[in-house]
Amino acid sequence: MSDLIFLTGPVRSGKSRRAVDIATRWGDDVVYVATYRRDPDDAEMAERVRRHQAERPAWRTLEAPPTVSEALAALDPPPSGVVLDSLGLWLGDRFEGSDAAILDGWSDELARFRAAPWPVVVIGDEIGWSPVPADAALRRFRDLAGFLGQRTAAAATEAWLMVAGCPLRLK
């Protein structure tokens, strides 16, 4: 069983920076899994992606594979470690599916991450700390993100909450 480290927290809390700090200890062949499917019309998000790329080492990148664990298993050479950024964007890419399909799909990914011969950092998103959204789709997204985070923390060997750049160990 490999290490599975879960980093969660609000926006701009330092999760990605902490993931890079952790993963650089795993050697030079870390794979960064970008779960965002690029939208050519979203210039602001393109700038966010560019900043993230500039802030991390020149690792191999997998761009939003349909099944992350299968894409990782097919890599040659295999990675020395994996950073998946982020669970919220992974959810957003699958949001049209049923709740059961989303939750079961993530549980399958988690099981494969734990069975992989390399460590994995999963970056989550704490979005449920605000008032209940008025929109049903936003409530569903918030709830699913919370359930995915709970499953990830339960499967993780370590879980951390990032707040203002400071890591707080949960598990």
Q: Which of 52, 94, 114, 151 is catalytic?
A: 52
Give dist(CA 27, CA 4) in Å, integer.
Answer: 16
171 marked ligand binding residue: no
| Residue 37: DSSP 8-state | P
Give dist(CA 99, CA 39) in Å, integer.
Answer: 24
27 marked ligand binding residue: no
Measuring CA to CA, which residue among 158, 65, 144 is closest to residue 107? Answer: 144
65 marked ligand binding residue: no
85 marked ligand binding residue: yes
Separate counts of helices (H) and strands (E) for the chain: 6, 7
68 marked ligand binding residue: no
10 marked ligand binding residue: yes
15 marked ligand binding residue: yes
Task: Please indicate whether residue 72 is annotated as part of the active site.
Answer: no
Question: What are the φ/ψ torsions at residue 114 (nearest 5 degrees)?
Answer: -65, -30
16 marked ligand binding residue: yes
55 marked ligand binding residue: no
Contact 90, 40 (CB under 8 A): no
Q: Which segments within the chain are labelled E, that is strand?
A: 4-8, 30-34, 60-63, 81-85, 120-123, 158-163, 166-169
Q: Catalytic positions, please?
A: 52
What residue numbers does the annotated binding site for GTP cover?
A: 9-16, 63, 85
